[in-house]
C-alpha cells in the first residue's frame, strides 16, 4: 500500500481569519474551501500547492484535538497526510505491521476524503493520516 503523494500537511492555527491572508500571500493562491468538521471539532481552510494541499485547522472546542495541541505546543505543523488507494486497507496493513492505530477503519474527513490516523507514539512522533477518495 504505497502512498502516491503527500495529500496534505495539517497546520494548527489559533485563528483562521488571521492565518488565511498570510498563507494566501505566501503561497500565491487563494483559499479554495472553508469547512467545519463537527466530529473533529475543527474548522479547516484549504490551499492547493501542486498536487499537495495545505490544511489550516482552527479548533471549535478547547477539548478537541486541535484545541489541546495548540494549548500544549502552540501553532504549528500538526499532521502529515498520505494519499493511498484505500485508507481502511492502509490502516489494517499498518496494524498488521505492528503500528498503533487511532482509527481502525476510515471515516469521512474534510474535503470529501476518507481518513484514518496512526498514533504518533508508533510513528517517531509524527501524527500520520491516510487519505483516500
Q: What are the residues binding ligand CMX (CB under 6 A)?
A: 10, 37, 40, 42, 44, 57, 65-66, 68-69, 72, 78-79, 102, 109-110, 117, 119-120, 125-127
Half-sphere exposure of 99 (CA within 13 A, CB side): 24
* DSSP type of residue 74: -
- In the complex, minimum distance from the CB of residue 70 to ligand CMX, in angstroms, rounded to a whole number: 10
Q: Which of 73, 71, 79 is nearest to 44 (CA)?
A: 79
Which CB, 92 or 114, lies closer to ligand CMX?
114
Nearest residue relative to ligand CMX (C-beta): 65
**For residues 22 and 26, what is the distance between their CA atoms, to the nearest angstrom?**
6
Which CB, 25 or 117, lies closer to ligand CMX?
117
Which CB, 117 or 130, lies closer to ligand CMX?
117
**For residues 8 and 80, what is the distance between their CA atoms, to the nearest angstrom?**
6
Amino acid at each position: 500500500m504505497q502512498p502516491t503523494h503527500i495529500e496534505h500537511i495539517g497546520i494548527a492555527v489559533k485563528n483562521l481569519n488571521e492565518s488565511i491572508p498570510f498563507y494566501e500571500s505566501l503561497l500565491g493562491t487563494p483559499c479554495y474551501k472553508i469547512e467545519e468538521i463537527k466530529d473533529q471539532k475543527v474548522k479547516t481552510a484549504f490551499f492547493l500547492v501542486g498536487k499537495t494541499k495545505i490544511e489550516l485547522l482552527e479548533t471549535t472546542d478547547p477539548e478537541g484535538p486541535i484545541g489541546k495541541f495548540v494549548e500544549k505546543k502552540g501553532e504549528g505543523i500538526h499532521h502529515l497526510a498520505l494519499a493511498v488507494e484505500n485508507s481502511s486497507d492502509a490502516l489494517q496493513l499498518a496494524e498488521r505491521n505492528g503500528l498503533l492505530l487511532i482509527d481502525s477503519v476510515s471515516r469521512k474527513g474534510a474535503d470529501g476524503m476518507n481518513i484514518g490516523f496512526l498514533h504518533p507514539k508508533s510513528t517517531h512522533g509524527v501524527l500520520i493520516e491516510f487519505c483516500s477518495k
